[in-house]
Chain A
């Protein structure tokens, strides 16, 4: 039987929303306070959902130690307490939480082979959250 397992992680990082292709006034109008040249930070909550048949011998979709191990070494080690603008993922992309969702989804999709990646969800603050499902569709 197919189940969906979700795990939440936290990391803190700073960013500045700015697009070099826009004029200064356009950047200010588009990004408001987030365009502050010194940047600002968030405590991000990352929610990773993987799916698959529940293995009868273990009762699991995937072993949490595998998921935790991958997220710690490939994501938290690289993103926690960093300035997102300095990371290669955001050399060309503005580090909005939308783009952060997609960047993290891509890392998991490429490297995590123990279960099917279903969704990446971010809470940037308690008031806003973002989801990226890749090619998957929401279940109605």
Chain B
């Protein structure tokens, strides 16, 4: 088994708010991230796929295919967007780094047939990142 990782960057804004909480609860739980005008990050995305090396091509997966899938399914939808207002998954889910990693997994997994998705890692800043392995 060989693991292959491709990185990408996107920039987006978001804020954290749960309409079921009171305004005071939202402020207490989410702090500065609750500002409804939003704030932004430069996110770094790492997508890792795994598989056996194809004896003819020497590839786990054609990188061009992985890059195009990431561009189409993830970056076009998220880059330079206000996540809460423009990305359907975040009309109902809070766009935390955890939920971003899960959402990106759910967008990519059905589209990657040649290799198996192993991990989605999302860096919100260089000091904070979340890994999702598709676990229930």
Contact residues of A with B, CB < 8 Å?
1-9, 49, 54, 57-61, 63-65, 139-140
Contacts and interface: CB of A to CB of B under 8 A. Distances in A.
Contacts of A139: 119, 133
Given A54-B98, A59-B93, A8 B128 contact: yes
Contacts of A2: 133, 135-136
Interface string B108-136: 00000000000100000011111111011
Interface of B: 1, 16, 18, 20-21, 29-31, 93-99, 101-102, 119, 126-133, 135-136
A54 B99 contact: yes
A8 B130 CA distance: 12
Contacts of A54: 96, 98-99, 102
A5 B31 contact: no
B44 to A, nearest CB: 13
A1 B136 contact: yes
Nearest to B94: A59
16 contacts: A1-B102, A2-B133, A2-B135, A3-B101, A6-B128, A9-B127, A54-B99, A54-B102, A58-B18, A58-B29, A58-B96, A59-B16, A59-B96, A59-B99, A63-B29, A65-B31
B26 to A, nearest CB: 10
